[in-house]
Structure 1
C-alpha cells in the first residue's frame, strides 16, 4: 500500500511516516522540503501518482490572521483535485477539536472550510479531530504575548494530547478502510488552559506568570469554557502532561 503523507516532514507528519514504514508500508513524505507545495499545486501530481491513501498533516506557517484561513481552504482544494486525478481511495486529514465552533478565528474557520471540501469531494475520507498537542503549548504562549512578565490567557478547558499518540492514530486510520466520518482524539487530562500553560512555564523555569482573562483571545476567538473540549466518544490517549514533559526536548535542554 502506497501512502503519501502531506506535511510529511513536519511534527506529526514525520512521525506518521516513521510508524507506517516500521509496519512495512510504502510511506512517502511530501512537503515543501521535498518539492511539493499544496498552495501552488507544484509537485502534487507527481507525488500522488500510484497512491492508495493520502494523509494530510500539513499546517499553515502563520497560525494567525486570514493567511491561515487562505492556506487551509486553498491547500485542501488543490490536494483533493490532485487526489481525484490520481484515483486516491482514501483521504485522511488531521483537524482540530472545536473547528466548527470558532468561526471568529481564521485558523479554525480555515480548518472547517477544508473539512467541508473533504466531505463534498466524493473521495472516501476519515477526518481526525485532535485536541491541542502538548508541543503547541509554546505557540499558545507566543500567540498570547508576554507583557511585564505576565501572560493573559483564557481559563477555558483543554485536554492536550501527545503528538506521538496522534501520529499513531493517523497511521492506524490510514491502513484501514475509510470511515466517511469525523473521529476525535484527546489526552487523558482535562484542565484549564491557564493552569496547564502555567505548569508548562514553571517546568521551563520561566519567570512569566499567567493571568486569567476570560476575554483573552485564542487565535482570534474568545473562548467559552468548553469550546475546545472533545466529545464523550473521543478516544482518550494515555500520555499525560508530566510524562510528556519529562521526555520532551524542553526537559532535555541545558538551561
Structure 2
C-alpha cells in the first residue's frame, strides 16, 4: 500500500514513515524539502499518484492566529482537492485531544477548521486526537516562564510518548476509515504542575513550578479536564517516568 505522509520529515512523520516501512508499506515522506508544498499545491499531484492513503501530520510554521488559520485552511483545502483528483481512498489527520474545548486559542480554532474541512470533503477519513507529547514538556514550561517561575494551569494532563502517537496514526492509516475521531493518550494522568515539575527536575532545571488558576494554556483558560481524553481513549504503554529515565 502506498501511503503519503504530509509532514513526513517531522517528529511524528519520520517515525510514522519508519513504522509503515517496517510493515511492508510504501511510505513516502512529503514536505517542502522534498518538493511538496501544500500551501502552494506544488508537487501534490505527482506525489499522490498511486497513493491509497494520505496521512497529514504537518504543522504550521507560525502559531500567530491569522497565520495558523491560513495554513490549515489553505493546505488542507489543497490537499483534499488533490486527493480527490488522485483517487485517494483514506485521509488520516493528527489533531489534539480537547481541540473543540480550547477555542479561545487561535491554534485550536485552526485545528478545528481543519477537521471540519476533512469531514465535509467526502473522502473517507480517520482523525487521531492525541494528548500532549512528552517531548513538548520543556516548550510548555518555557511558554509559562516568568523569570525563574513557571506558571501553569490548575488542570490535569495525560501526556503521551511520540513513538506511541506514531504507532496509533500508523494503525489508523492501514485500517478501515473510521469516519470519526479516535483518542490516544499516555497511561498516567498528572496534575499539570506535577508533570512539568517532574520533567524539569529530571533535567536539573532549577525553575520553580507554580499551579496558577489564572495561567493560560497557549491562550486558553483550562478547566480541570480540558486536556484529558474521554473514557474510550486508547491508552499507550510508555510511562513518562520511564521515558525520562531513558533520556538521562
TM-score under structure 1 length normalisation: 0.94
Provide the alpha-carbon RMSD of the alignment: 1.1
- The 8 Å contact of residues 2 and 25 in structure 1, kept in 2 or not, is answered as yes
The answer for the alignment partner of 1:222 in structure 2 is 221
Quote the offset at 1:113 in angstroms: 0.6
- The 8 Å contact of residues 64 and 220 in structure 1, kept in 2 or not, is answered as no
State the SS of the aligned residue for 2:99: coil
The answer for the alignment partner of 1:155 in structure 2 is 154
Which segment is superposed worse, 56-65 or 99-108? Answer: 56-65
State the SS of the aligned residue for 1:109: helix
- The 8 Å contact of residues 90 and 123 in structure 2, kept in 1 or not, is answered as yes
Alignment CA distance shift 1:139-1:64 (3 Å):
farther
- The 8 Å contact of residues 63 and 219 in structure 1, kept in 2 or not, is answered as no
Unaligned stretches of 5+ residues in structure 1: none
Quote the offset at 1:55 in angstroms: 0.6
CA distance in 2 between partners of 1:165 and 1:67 (Å): 29
Task: After superposition, give the CA deviation of every residue in 1:57-110 in whole Å (9 maximum; x if it has no partner).
Answer: 111223353322222222211111111111100001110000111111011111
Residues matched between the structures, number:
248
- The 8 Å contact of residues 102 and 221 in structure 1, kept in 2 or not, is answered as yes
- The 8 Å contact of residues 188 and 236 in structure 1, kept in 2 or not, is answered as yes
- The 8 Å contact of residues 192 and 211 in structure 2, kept in 1 or not, is answered as no
Output aligned runs, 1:98-247, within 5 Å. 98-144=98-144, 146-247=145-246
CA distance in 2 between partners of 1:11 and 1:211 (Å): 29
- The 8 Å contact of residues 128 and 184 in structure 2, kept in 1 or not, is answered as yes
- The 8 Å contact of residues 142 and 150 in structure 2, kept in 1 or not, is answered as no
- The 8 Å contact of residues 154 and 216 in structure 1, kept in 2 or not, is answered as yes
CA distance in 2 between partners of 1:230 and 1:63 (Å): 24
Unaligned stretches of 5+ residues in structure 2: none
CA distance in 2 between partners of 1:121 and 1:161 (Å): 30
State the SS of the aligned residue for 2:101: coil
CA distance in 2 between partners of 1:171 and 1:65 (Å): 30
- The 8 Å contact of residues 184 and 235 in structure 2, kept in 1 or not, is answered as yes
4+ residue segments displaced more than 6 Å: none
CA distance in 2 between partners of 1:165 and 1:184 (Å): 12
Quote the offset at 1:200 in angstroms: 0.7
